[in-house]
Amino acid sequence: MMTPLLNQLLNLTGYVWETLKADSLYLFLSIFLAAVLSVYLDANKARSIFLRYPKYLVSGSVAFGAFTPLCACGTMAVVFSLMTTALPWGPIMAFLVSSPLMSPDTFVLFSGILGIRFTIALATVSVILGLGAGWLATWIERHTSFLEGQLKIRKENRSSFDETGTVEIPKGSFLDRLKLPELFNSLYSVGLLKIFPLFLLFVAIAYLVKTFIPTVWVMELFSGEKLYSVPLAALIGLPLYVSDATVVPLLQVLRDAGASDGAVMAFMITGPATSVGVIGGLTLILKRKALALYVVMILLGGMLSGMIYNIIG
């Protein structure tokens, strides 16, 4: 009776090993890039730039959100920092929507494994959705009272800034500025303790899906021929904890089984943006109306993006 189980364990181990060999370069590059940017990119300096150029607050927030490798906790830290300033809702929502959807490390990983075409499309969608969310939130704030009193924290004076909106940068030796201990710590804490174990978990899940779920089921639910495939994928992504880097093996298997790229895109929009870490952090900052607006924008954005991608793809 143990033989079938032992065979499955051996097959699973072999599948995990082969996947790691195939994807290790892109996985390492994405982890290294995430660690480098998390150590050397100063969120306070970026915020000071936003404050100096108010006309570019929404677009700047989208750029900062989409092109920095912030995890859920990192996103919440920046959002909390933004909200304690006098910033309006537009740039805050723009950052919130764009930040979980794309980052440099995600772009590297997706390009190498899922293809450059799909990755560019997802990056473009993250920018478009961020800009749309920012402009919509700006309109709502200016013309309605929907977002009034929707913060759970009070806006305070920017005490950490001088009158020009700049931040004092502590001086030190060249070695101090290199921050090598912080970099190694980030590689360990982000890569080895977070991304790598989750990557292995999703490789294992991908093996189970590939082995035990018939291809015809996947095609029936998520192929581009079904009108409900994209909305269903978006809805499934809502309650799940999805990390861009770690879920790639599962996405590969679903695509190979017949899931459309539009359904995969919808899943990768709603999943990371409504993960437990993001929503849990937002409940500490936002009240119900603002939180509901965020979720609705993500859900509708995921559905529309997936449908459009299936049509033009």
Beta bridge partners of 107: none
Lowest mean pLDDT among 56-65, 153-162, 168-177, 194-203: 153-162
* Nearest CA among 265, 278, 264 for reference residue 65: 278
Which of 31-35, 128-132, 253-257, 281-285 has the largest mean confidence?
Answer: 128-132
Domain regions of the chain by residue span: 16-312
**Chain segment 265-275, per-residue pLDDT in tens:** 998 888 878 86
Give ∠ CA 84-90-94 in degrees, rounded to 5. 95
- State how far the Cα of 252 lies from the Cα of 309, in Å rounded to an integer: 18
Q: State mean pLDDT over 85-109.
A: 79
pTM assigned to the model: 0.66
Lowest mean pLDDT among 11-15, 156-160, 211-215, 295-299: 156-160
